[in-house]
Amino acid sequence: MTTEFTRERPWQLLQEWTASPSLIKHGLAVEACTRAYGVSEAARLGLSGREADDFIELYSIAGLLHDFDYDKHPSLEEHPFVGVNFLREQGWPEPVLHAILAHADYSGTPRDSHLDRALFASDELAGFLTACALVKPSKSIQEVEVAGVKKKMKDKAFARAVKREDITEGAALLGITVEDHIANCLKAMQASAAELGLDGVSA
């Protein structure tokens, strides 16, 4: 992969297209989760060195850019199609474009690849884990635990915009339990807490 498509460029693009700080943080949170799945999948496939790095980079880019057009083009007719068309014209990797299309239920794009599934699975859960952190008095994601997240998933009044069925479906698509899916994403977001504004200090 050329350096043009490594993390720096998508990170710039996300910031160029997005005014909302919370939407930028959402991109970073989904990136953290999706990338963690890229790391484990690369290991499972026995990839190493440059090959593993390039593989994992696709997960990072898809996470960062899955909603990059949303601020400017939030309608169902436009998001994520406007963004994907833009990325396609620039020659971004096809697996990334496919995953971005597939994260939207209404696009009709099937979730075929592991990347497609990891992105879809991470999207709603990242939002939910952010909400779980922000109700802690410390606003720190380090205090969030899997059991507490599961409990909050049953509380319909909490973060009601987050579709619980997308979280459970995402775990099923990845072939893991909901508990493991929560644990994986929680660990990934905890490692990026400062960048996400969820370390209880910068929040």
Q: Which residues bind Fe ion (CB under 5 A)?
A: 67, 123
Nearer to Fe ion (CB atom), residue 62 or residue 141: 62
CB of 38 to Fe ion, least distance (A): 17
31 vs 67, which CB is nearer to Fe ion?
A: 67
Q: Rounded to the nearest whole angstrom, what is the least distance from the CB of residue 166 to Fe ion in the complex? A: 10
Q: At what angle do helices 178-191 and 114-134 cross, to 10 degrees?
A: 70
Specify burial of residue 75 (Cβ count, 10 A radius: 0-12, 13-18, 19+): exposed
47: alpha, beta or left, given left = phi > 0 and alpha = psi -120 to 50? beta
- Give the Cα separation of 29 and 43 in Å (integer): 22
If the CB atoms of residues 157 and 161 are measured against Fe ion, the closer one turns out to be 161
- Closer of 67 and 169 to Fe ion (Cβ): 67
Taking the complex as a whole, the smallest distance from the CB of residue 122 to Fe ion amounts, in Å, to 9
State the nearest-atom distance from the C-beta of 5 to Fe ion, in Å: 20
Rounded Cα gap, residues 118 and 68, in angstroms: 18
The C-alpha atoms of residue 61 and residue 118 are separated, in whole angstroms, by: 12
